[in-house]
């Protein structure tokens, strides 16, 4: 379950050591934009030590390395891969060849470190017009890609338009990213909402992203994590309905019935698939069985 992903600057100890207490499902240790060029070396050493010695309380670790057009990305991978991060986020991914370049270097290091192939997954960060247009090719370039992530700040700079709270300027990119990710059968994450003090704005933005089909959303502030988790979690009503669907399916099988109806509506394969996803998520959140028990 990865509803929220929180960016943590890679050279800031007080944020790095507290990352596990901030409620996010995943932490993005940032070696790219949050770190000045003369501190890249110190940041990658710090992140490596944090990953090695700190208890991150079950948070998934994602490390945003520097892009492959810089001199830093190979050194980032050299330092970080021995700590077996779950994900490497690859910024400014513009085409499938970028994915394959990073994939080859990660494969080389996995082999050298005696790790199983594809232990470390890739999450391309798509933040250019070229990247958006190539989203499906990027998402399907390698088995290592498990998700794609939209970065709207760089994208709007590339589009030469203003980034607004309403987000009309990224509507096409959002839809295109979701379509590409689902076609490639990978997860898809929405860009952060950058006004840290706008509590209504973050909720509306997260709800809109969820309505489009995003798996979750990134954040640059711990303050947004709770809202994102709430929006991307199934509601109690959703969970109850999912259990009802699965009960109806079970009963129909026991009675040898083919067509199944619930509350006057036909239950077809997509509804069952969604119910299974909802139950899996509810159980991962630790609320599934409680709801099922109360319902029965």
Partner 1 sequence: MEIIKRAIAGTLESSDAYVEIEPNARGIRCELESVVEQQFGDNIRGLVEEILADCGVENAKIHIIDRGALECVIRARVEAAVMRGKGE
Binding site for partner 1 (CB under 8 A): 12-14, 17, 41-42, 45-46, 48-50, 52-54
Q: What is the DSSP string of 196-238?
A: TT-HHHHHHHHHHHHHHT-SEEEESSGGGHHHHHHHTSPPHHH
Residue whose CB is less far from partner 1, 17 or 95: 17
> What minimum distance in Å lies between the beta carbon of 236 and partner 1?
39
Rounded Cα gap, residues 135 and 263, in angstroms:
39
User: CB of 106: closest distance to partner 1 in angstroms?
Assistant: 23
- Picking from 69, 62, 79, the residue whose alpha carbon sits closest to that of residue 8 is 62
- Nearest CB to partner 1, comparing residues 45 and 183: 45
Phi/psi of residue 49, each to 5°?
-70, -40
Query: Whole-number minimum distance, CB 50 to partner 1, in Å?
Result: 6
Question: Tokens standing for 58?
Answer: 């079950």
Ramachandran category for residue 30: left, alpha or beta (phi over 0 → left; psi -120 to 50 → alpha): beta
- Residue 209, exposed/middle/buried by CB under 10 A (0-12, 13-18, 19+)? buried
Number of Cβ within 10 Å of residue 134's Cβ equals: 22
Residue number with CB closer to partner 1 (54 or 290) = 54
Q: How far is CA 13 from CA 24, 31, 86, 257, 274, in A?
A: 18, 13, 21, 60, 41
Q: Which two tokens stand for residue 187?
A: 């997860």
Strand, helix or coil for residue 40? helix
Judged by beta carbon, residue 38 or residue 294, the one nearer partner 1 is 38
CB of 202 to partner 1, least distance (A): 27
The Cβ of residue 142 has, within 10 Å, a number of other Cβ atoms equal to: 20
Compute φ and ψ for 89, nearest 5 degrees: -95, 125
Residue 13 CB, nearest distance to partner 1 (Å)?
Answer: 5
Compute the distance between CA of residue 241 and CA of residue 218 in angstroms, rounded to an integer: 28
Nearer to partner 1, 48 or 217 (CB): 48
Smallest gap from residue 195 Cβ to partner 1 (A): 25
How far apart are CB 12 and partner 1 at their closest, in Å? 8
| Closest CB to partner 1 among residues 13, 166 | 13
- Of the pair 15, 126, the CB lying nearest partner 1 is at 15
Q: Tell the smallest beta-carbon distance from residue 48 to partner 1 (Å).
A: 7
Euclidean distance between CA atoms 232 and 118, whole angstroms? 27
For residues 84 and 289, which CB has a smaller minimum distance to partner 1 in the complex? 84
């Amino acid at each position: 379950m990865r509803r929220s992903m929180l960016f943590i600057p890679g050279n800031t100890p007080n944020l790095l050591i507290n990352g596990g207490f901030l409620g996010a499902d995943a932490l993005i240790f940032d070696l790219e934009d949050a770190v000045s060029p003369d501190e890249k070396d110190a940041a990658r050493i710090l992140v490596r030590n944090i990953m090695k010695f700190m208890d991150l309380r079950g948070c998934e670790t994602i490390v945003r390395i520097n892009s492959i057009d810089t001199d830093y990305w190979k050194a980032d991978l050299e330092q970080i891969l021995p700590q077996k991060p779950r994900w490497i986020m690859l910024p400014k991914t513009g085409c499938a060849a970028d994915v394959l370049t990073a994939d080859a270097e990660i494969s080389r290091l996995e082999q050298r470190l005696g790790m199983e192939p594809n232990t470390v997954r890739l999450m391309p960060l798509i933040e250019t017009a070229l990247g958006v247009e190539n989203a499906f090719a990027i998402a399907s370039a390698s088995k290592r890609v498990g998700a794609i992530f939209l970065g709207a700040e760089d994208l709007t700079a590339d589009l030469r338009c203003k980034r607004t709270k309403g987000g009309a300027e990224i509507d096409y990119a959002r839809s295109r990213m979701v379509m590409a990710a689902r076609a490639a059968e990978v997860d898809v994450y929405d860009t952060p909402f950058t006004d840290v003090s706008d509590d209504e704005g973050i909720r509306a933005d997260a709800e809109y992203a969820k309505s489009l089909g995003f798996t979750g959303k990134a954040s640059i502030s711990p303050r947004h994590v709770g809202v994102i988790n709430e929006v991307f979690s199934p509601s109690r009503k959703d969970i109850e309905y999912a259990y009802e669907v699965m009960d109806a399916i079970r009963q129909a099988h026991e009675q040898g019935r083919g067509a199944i109806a619930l509350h006057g509506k036909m239950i077809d394969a997509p509804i069952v698939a969604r119910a299974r996803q909802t139950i899996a998520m509810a159980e991962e959140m630790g609320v599934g069985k409680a709801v099922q028990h109360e319902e029965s």
